[in-house]
Every structure is written in structure tokens, then in C-alpha cells.
Amino acid sequence: MEKDTNTEVKIKDAARKLFHKKGYAGTKTRDIAEEAGINLAMLNYYYRSKERLFQQIMEESITKIFFSIQCVLNDTASSISEKIDKMVSVYIDILSENPNLPIFILGEIQANPENITKKIGLSEDLILKTSLYKQLKAHVKEKGLENLNVLHIPINLLSMTIFPFVAKPILNSVSGMNESDFKQFVNERKTLVPMWVKSMLKID
């Protein structure tokens, strides 16, 4: 067991912060060392190389954004309505604490599609095989919405939940929002987004 401010942890925390903000190519190992308050040589002592350090950060990031909600999507005990509420709430909490996470992952995938999508297990299990997806398929049939491609629904849910965070700096500029305004705006969406999505499904 190590104390929670030891060198290894400090390096990873600094790396996460800088990789998330600047991406792999935009982050220099010297910047990570400076941010962590340690020597450049320590980075290679603990993590062998910039590439290996990046892989660790990327794996943790993928886990956080893709697998955090899997238990919600696959809870066979909960209804569609409950899953929608929970999903939006969980995501908004995650993104509030990791605002740079979505652009980081999407940017790295765009720059290097083969590496990222292959390395991580992005299979059809993530959406098509979830309990939520099966419930949605049954629901649209029951409600006479057969013409609706069900995939639009989770996409809308994720769109309206994630997009305000990726557009946050622009929102600040074009609407004069400050940090506190943004917090309130996003908090309103915890109830609004589920309401809108349920309306698309004729729930309630």
C-alpha cells in the first residue's frame, strides 16, 4: 500500500489532466513532469514510456465513459423509464467531474481509429445486446412505433446528455454563461432530457 500522494499517483493524475485536455500528440512528457511536480526521469522510471502511460489513461477513460453505465443498461429489474432517468443522471455526474473526457476519447478515435476501437472491446454488447435495447424493441412494437429505428433513442439520450459538455466553452462565449449558470443548466437537463426522450417513446 502506498500513500495517496506518492510519485506514481501524482504522475498519473498529471498525465490524465493533460492528456484529457491536450490529447496524446499535444501533451509533452516534460509538461506532465512539471504538472506532477516531479522530475522527467521519474516518468520513465514508473511508466517506461509516454506511450505506456497513455495506454493506462486511455483504458481507464474508456472504462469510465463506456462501462460505467453498462450495469444500468443491463438491469433486468428496472423499467425503460427508470433506466432513462438513471442513465442521464449517472452520465451528468461523471461528465461534471470529467468535462474533458468525451472530446479526449472522440478526438483520439478520430486521429487513430484503428488503434482505439480495436484495442478496446467495442462490440455490439454495449448497446444492441443490452436489456434496455430489448425493452425498447418490445416497447415500440407495443406502441405502434414500428417505423422508428430504435437506435435513434439511445443516440438522442446520449446526444442531449453529452453535447452540452463538449460544447461548454462555446456555450460560455455565446450565451454569457458562467460556471454556476452552467451547473444549473445541466442540472435542469437531469429532468428535462428524460422527459423529452420518454415523450418520443409515448411513455407517461
Partner DNA sequence: GTCTATAGACTGATAGAC
Partner DNA sequence: GTCTATCAGTCTATAGAC
What residue ranges bind a copy of itself (CB under 8 A)? 21-26, 100, 103-104, 106-107, 109-111, 113, 117, 122-124, 126-128, 148-149, 151-152, 155-156, 158-160, 162-164, 166-167, 169-176, 185, 188-189, 192, 196, 199-200
DSSP 51-76: HHHHHHHHHHHHIIIIITTHHHHT-T
Could you tell me how many residues make up the chain? Answer: 204
CB of 8 to a copy of itself, least distance (A): 26
Instruction: Between 38 and 157, name the residue whose CB sits nearer to a copy of itself.
Output: 157
Could you list the residues that contact DNA (CB under 7 A)? 6-8, 27-30, 38-42, 44-45, 48-51
**Among 139, 167, 168, which Cα is nearest to 153's?**
139
The DSSP symbol for 125 reads G
CB of 24 to DNA, least distance (A): 9
Name which of DNA, a copy of itself, none residue 200 binds, using a CB cut-off of 5 to 8 Å depending on partner kind: a copy of itself
What is the spatial distance between Cα 87 and Cα 161, in angstroms, rounded to a whole number?
A: 9
- CB contact at 8 A, 10 and 53: no
CB of 53 to a copy of itself, least distance (A): 17
